[in-house]
A and B are shown apart, each in its own frame.
Chain A
């Protein structure tokens, strides 16, 4: 039964836009899918290889700008960015990893954070190329959300399946060995520098593709959006942590939770407070509804703190623990 769950979920996701024609919900799902790709990429380098990256936006933004600049300067479809964005991100990842993986300790994490900021500054300053803060605007290809939905779904599925495939291969074993003990890995004949590079480049590729899709879908990017430390790099980490570091489906769950919590607060518990405000007409209610809608990041932050404290392996990694806590009798069942 458990084997079919991914398949069932996939079928449900394929039918989703047919059943639910509300563009708003389709939009949310597209965001979830983009985050699945980003989260999966982060998970490869951080969750499986143990090298925590604080700079995923460098890859995301590079992918997005690749798509945007191709359309802007060469007047070819931004969809080409999907083909090139991943490789462009790898072109950033390669020299960066080459240098930084020579250092052990917290240097990689810090250097990736710096990479993020450097990329953002370059995109801001290199105005002739990127238009700086003005950003890049392209005409969307489709008016309907549905084509985007399926493309994003394909990207998300591709990311998850690809990561699963990698993790079952030699590379996967090597990544995990490096994460668990770098000295042991070296003594087992694993070129740790090389395989960290492989891992980082996989992460960059997936994240770059997600960035290119983001450009195509949103139609507008600027350095503050796609190279954002908080909204992209840190979020990528949080998606990974909440879903489950070092699990295949963790980033998917994390992405869903992240977008759901975000929207849950933004819409005031899906309009609950707005409804209450309208019903009662009280000023207090209106202001509560308003405040709640501003608290989405706060809600997410608290969730992150709680997850790290109580579910250190994330929702997927600690699923049994979670289920056991919510439904105590199930625990007994599992134990017996």
Chain B
């Protein structure tokens, strides 16, 4: 029973973070209709920024959110403005040109990081990195709990933003019907730029709050990109609420898989879920709620 509860807690904590990663991807998917295959790589960039700030300037990782998120927003916006938006006007054979572009951008990000920081493992050691507290028999990693609450905070903020602000409404309108939004006077280019920026900033936040717990190396982004798209598919392409459920499901599945089946299968579980969803629930959780 203890193992079960411990696993449940671990899964939920992880799931909250995954949700944060997934929301960014879902936003981009919803508005631009593309899978951002540089998503994890953007997270990796945020992690390196956090690392540099902590290691060389001595800024606490959580404080550095105020720097990493705007930086990532800017990076995302620039990527959208100068590499993805121009592609909308280019006639190419493959409609997936923008997706392929994100692959190229991901490569550039990874290799630039490798260029600067080499492939060595980096980590940020804080006083709370290894700290744990107990509730009954169940242990909680302090850093993971903080990360979880920050993730929840950002998630709630995102919902407030999407529901209550003008830009948020424009984003939702564009995601629902691009042409109609255009007719209603929404500047769709501006919206795509803001959306990609937001997506990048959110995944950047996830990277930063993971930094006290994780090791960092240039290739860390790849697995997270894959997780992000499993979450996005699970939640139903483009659904932000779905992304949270997707994130929780993946987090729980990974935790239970690791406890009860074996650590080696951690990655495999996401894939199996992914394939099952493709086979039996194309459209993800969103579809369940719609019917």
Contact = CB atoms under 8 A, between A and B. Distances in A.
A110 interface: yes
Nearest to A318: B92
B75 to A, nearest CB: 14
B258 to A, nearest CB: 15
Contacts of B86: 309
Interface residues of B, number: 39
A305 interface: yes
A47 B97 CA distance: 12
A234 B106 CA distance: 11
**Size class of the contact patch on chain A:** 35 or more
B146 interface: no
A125 interface: yes
B278 A121 contact: no
B183 interface: no
B267 A230 contact: no
A260 B180 CA distance: 47
A304 B108 CA distance: 9
Q: Which of A99, A291, A297 has the most CB of B within 10 A?
A: A297
Contact of A107 (B97, B110, B115, B278): B278
Nearest to A109: B96
A241 to B, nearest CB: 6
Interface string A94-118: 0000011001011101110110011
Contact of A298 (B96, B99, B103, B108): B108
A252 interface: no
Contacts of B103: 234, 237-238, 304
B278 A308 contact: no
A298 B111 contact: yes
Interface in B84-118: 86-87, 90-97, 99-101, 103-105, 107-108, 110-112, 114-115
A46 B83 CA distance: 22
Q: Which of A50, A113, A302, A308 has the most CB of B within 10 A?
A: A308
A110 to B, nearest CB: 6
B111 A121 contact: no
B31 interface: no
B92 A125 contact: no
Interface in A149-202: 179
A50 B271 CA distance: 24
A179 B92 CA distance: 12
Nearest to A305: B104
Nearest to A124: B264
A301 interface: yes
Contact of A46 (B94, B233, B279): B94
B278 A106 contact: no
Contacts of B87: 308-309, 312
A313 B93 contact: yes
Contacts of A312: 87, 90-93, 97
A297 B275 CA distance: 31
A121 B108 contact: no
Nearest to B274: A114
B222 A230 contact: yes
**Chain A binding surface, main DSSP class:** helix
A295 interface: yes
Given A100-B278, A312-B97, A313-B93, A304 B222 contact: no
Nearest to A298: B111
A301 B108 contact: yes
A245 B94 contact: yes
B278 A301 contact: no
B48 to A, nearest CB: 15
Nearest to B91: A312
Contacts of B122: none
B226 interface: yes
A103 B282 contact: yes
A313 B91 CA distance: 9
A237 B85 CA distance: 21
A229 B87 CA distance: 25
A117 B271 contact: yes
A52 interface: yes
B82 to A, nearest CB: 9
B288 to A, nearest CB: 17
Nearest to B101: A308
Contacts of B95: 50
A309 B108 CA distance: 15
B107 A301 contact: yes
A291 B119 CA distance: 12
A113 B271 CA distance: 10
A179 B83 CA distance: 25
9 contacts: A106-B35, A106-B99, A109-B35, A110-B229, A121-B268, A229-B222, A297-B111, A305-B83, A308-B97
Task: Name the 9 nearest CB pairs between A and B, nearest first.
Answer: A301-B107, A298-B111, A312-B92, A304-B104, A301-B108, A305-B104, A312-B90, A297-B111, A52-B96
Given A103-B278, A125-B264, 12 more contacts: A50-B94, A52-B94, A106-B96, A110-B35, A110-B274, A113-B226, A113-B229, A114-B278, A125-B268, A238-B103, A298-B108, A308-B101
